[in-house]
Amino acid sequence: MAVMRLWRLASVLMLALAATLAEAKTRDGRLHGNIARRPSVPAVAAPEDGPVTSRNGTQLPPYNTTYYFDQLIDHTNPSLGTFKQRFWTTYELYEPGGPIVLFTPGEANAQPYSGYLTNRTINGQIAQKLGGVTIVLEHRYYGLSNPFPDLSVKSLKFHTIQQAIDDLEYFAKTVDLPMPGGDALKPGQAPWILIGGSYSGALTSFTMVNKPNLFQAAYASSAVVESIVDYWGYFEPIRQYMPQNCSADVQAVIAHIDQVFTSGNRREIDHIKALFNMSALTHLDDVAGALRNNLWDWQSLSPSSKGGLFFEFCDALEVKHGVSAGPRGWGLQHALQAWAKYWTSSYYDNLCGDEDVVTCLGTYNATQDIWTDISVDNAGRSWMWIVADLKLFSCNEVGFFQEGAPLGHPTLVTRLVQPPYDERQCTYMFPEAFQHLGHLPVPRVDATNKAYHGWFVQVPHLFFANGHRDPWREATLAADGTHFRSTPEQPLTISDGFHCSDLNTPNAVVDPTVLAVQQQGLKAIAGWIAEWKPSKH
């Protein structure tokens, strides 16, 4: 039987203290300024003031109390033993007969996600409505939930989507929750609900496909269910919903930079590099690719956020002497100079801090520590992996390389950056896995989509929530041109929100479309839970 221990467990604490934690190099948590954003769930912290009490008045452990579960290293070979998988839980809202609400934030250290135990999120809203227990489970190979003391290629052998799915099953069927009667709340004894967002939203969908009847209900927000190698569609919702004048000028500047960088005119090339203080970068795809950062800031927006770096960037381009440009923008000449001024005067320092431009934005030095650091709690490295079998010769199972749009389609980012740019990074980070290939590794997304049904998932009791303004929309069931139908057994809803906006309760206060999605989700899940009957699992 799996064993739990509180945070004082000596052996685990020693491991945590011994671990060399990889530090993010950019303010948004990435290892490097020219590595794309991950499909991540926004962190939500739990309230710190006041005690946590159950519905009968019992004082409970704080939300940030860490528990440990003995998870199997390899679900195909249990003899390899177990590792300590962290989780957080509370039965603050529980009533006998209520559901168990399980959530994993996916590709991140789960410590900052304790708010998902509370009604600050849809998880807590569901628990509050149905009298449930809430759990946050750290994904294998993220944070401090690691089978081995490093993230070497050898250690990452068991970091696969299928192992992560099997983790959810083994946890649900084996865990003894730290609460009265917590040893009698397995599937079959209590209804379980699985919740996820972004990648973990996709994992939620994959689990419902792969483990039918394990979870009575599931909620998948901004779920990137379709794995795509050349994910230029990341920038489509941004282009569609950003201020028109800003979009026009960004497109004009990028088209000009691409034309100059492919012209061979050394004087003009050097002039643009100097404008952005990137003269030290020798590879032009690094220079042009770095400007994706201003567009990536869109992912940090939410209905309840006030402004943000993205709109600060657009204001820098479009407001001149207190006057905003019309829908066509100010044009190339002003926009190029304004972008460069904004980049050099404040944005670069905000992005890279004290790092020089080659260290922060150059990607061609295979000896940089971003490629060679194998310490645990390195989410960027773990995300770059995700392989099911080294024989696949793929960097990962999902792709999602964020590049320029095809010729003939408007683009906000350079076309100099294409999938080989990111695939090369895979060979730097995992040389021992790929050095013998003789070619760049290409993610085997077809195999992932076939195994877990991608866009074509059809399973009962699975609620999908998406946002029109989500940059990950084109990998979800709300992608342009897909026209998937919502059904009572698999509802498909969409708000005017951004990435995973419907997971966060405050977003519903300011956006009625987010509120409508949350209300539909609560109603659907309540109905499915009402159908549950005890069984032998």
Q: How many CB atoms lie within 10 A of CB 271?
A: 12
Structure tokens at 497: 């929100």
Lowest mean pLDDT among 2-16, 62-76, 225-239, 448-462: 2-16
What is the model's pLDDT at position 289? Answer: 97
Name which residue leads in pLDDT, 362 or 4.
Answer: 362
What is the model's pLDDT at position 153? Answer: 93
What is the model's pLDDT at position 482? Answer: 93
What is the model's pLDDT at position 461? Answer: 98
**Residue 392 confidence (pLDDT) above 50:** no
One of 114, 198, 247, 382 is an active-site residue; which one? 198
Average pLDDT over residues 90-96: 97
pTM here is 0.93
Name which residue leads in pLDDT, 85 or 418.
Answer: 85
Average pLDDT over residues 475-479: 97
Is residue 432 exposed (0-12), middle (13-18) or buried (19+ Cβ within 10 Å)? exposed
- Give 399's pLDDT tier (boundaries 50, 70, 90): low
Q: Is 181 left (phi over 0), alpha (psi -120 to 50) or beta?
A: left
Name which residue leads in pLDDT, 76 or 227.
Answer: 76
* Phi then psi dihedrals of residue 18, to 5 deg: -75, -25
**What is the maximum span of the chain, computed from C-alpha positions, in angstroms?**
75
One of 470, 495, 501, 502 is an active-site residue; which one? 470
Euclidean distance between CA atoms 475 and 154, whole angstroms: 31
229 to each of 395, 423, 475, how far by Cα in Å?
Answer: 11, 10, 11
- The residue written with tokens 């994992």 in the block is 203
- Give 446's pLDDT tier (boundaries 50, 70, 90): confident
CA 326 to chain centre: 35
pLDDT above 70 covers a percentage of the chain that reads: 91
- Give 3's pLDDT tier (boundaries 50, 70, 90): very low
What is the model's pLDDT at position 537? Answer: 64
Classify strands 462-467 and 492-495 as parallel, antiparallel or unpaired. parallel
What is the model's pLDDT at position 15? Answer: 33
Concatenate the DSSP letters of all residues of 260-297 into one string: HHTTT-HHHHHHHHHHTT-TT---HHHHHHHTHHHHHG
Classify strands 100-103 and 82-90 as parallel, antiparallel or unpaired. unpaired
Q: Is 470 a catalytic residue?
A: yes
Question: Exposed e or buried b for every residue in 189-224, given b needs 16+ CB within 10 A?
Answer: ebbbbbbbbbbbbbbbbbbbbbbeebbbbbbbbbbb
Euclidean distance between CA atoms 204 and 195, whole angstroms: 6
* Helix (H), strand (E), coil (C) string for 470-483: CCCHHHCCCCCCCC
Would you say 57 and 69 are in contact if contact means Cβ atoms under 8 Å apart?
no
Q: Give the chain's mean pLDDT.
A: 91
Lowest mean pLDDT among 60-74, 226-240, 355-369, 391-405: 391-405
Q: 323-362 pLDDT, tens per residue?
A: 999 999 999 999 999 999 999 999 999 999 999 999 999 9
Q: What one-character DSSP code corresponds to residue 298? A: G
CA 476 to chain centre: 13
Lowest mean pLDDT among 9-18, 318-327, 455-464: 9-18
**Residue 389 confidence (pLDDT) above 60:** no
Nearest CA to 403 out of 386, 385, 423, 388 is that of 423
Average pLDDT over residues 460-465: 98
Question: H or E element: which one contains 399?
Answer: strand 399-401
pLDDT above 90 covers a percentage of the chain that reads: 81
Structure tokens at 266: 């050394």
**Residue 155 confidence (pLDDT) above 70:** yes
**Residue 527 confidence (pLDDT) above 70:** yes
Residue type present at position 316: A
What is the model's pLDDT at position 441? Answer: 60
Is residue 37 exposed (0-12), middle (13-18) or buried (19+ Cβ within 10 Å)? buried
Euclidean distance between CA atoms 512 and 485, whole angstroms: 22
Q: 23-80 pLDDT, tens per residue?
A: 457 877 788 999 988 889 999 999 987 899 999 999 999 999 999 999 999 999 999 9
Euclidean distance between CA atoms 203 and 104, whole angstroms: 9
What is the model's pLDDT at position 16? Answer: 34
Q: Give the helix, strand, coil percentages of the chain, each rounded to 5.
A: 40, 15, 45
Nearest CA to 379 out of 199, 165, 119 is that of 199
Under DSSP, is residue 442 helix (H, G, I), strand (E, B) or coil? coil
Q: 95-107 pLDDT, tens per residue?
A: 999 999 999 999 9
What is the model's pLDDT at position 433? Answer: 82
Q: 237-268 pLDDT, tens per residue?
A: 999 999 999 999 999 999 999 999 999 999 99
**Mutual orientation of helices 244-261 and 309-318 as an angle, nearest 10°?**
80
Under DSSP, is residue 257 helix (H, G, I), strand (E, B) or coil? helix
**Mutual orientation of helices 161-174 and 199-210 as an angle, nearest 10°?**
70
Question: H or E element: which one contains 137?
Answer: strand 133-137
What is the model's pLDDT at position 390? Answer: 31
> Of 11-15, 321-325, 389-393, 395-399, which one has max mean pLDDT?
321-325
Structure tokens at 490: 């698999």
Lowest mean pLDDT among 96-100, 399-403, 442-446: 442-446
* Phi then psi dihedrals of residue 312, to 5 deg: -65, -40
**Residue 480 confidence (pLDDT) above 60:** yes
Average pLDDT over residues 438-465: 86
**Mutual orientation of helices 266-275 and 332-342 as an angle, nearest 10°?**
50
Q: What is the dihedral of CA 371, 372, 378, 380, to 10 degrees?
A: 10
Nearest CA to 179 out of 50, 49, 56 is that of 56
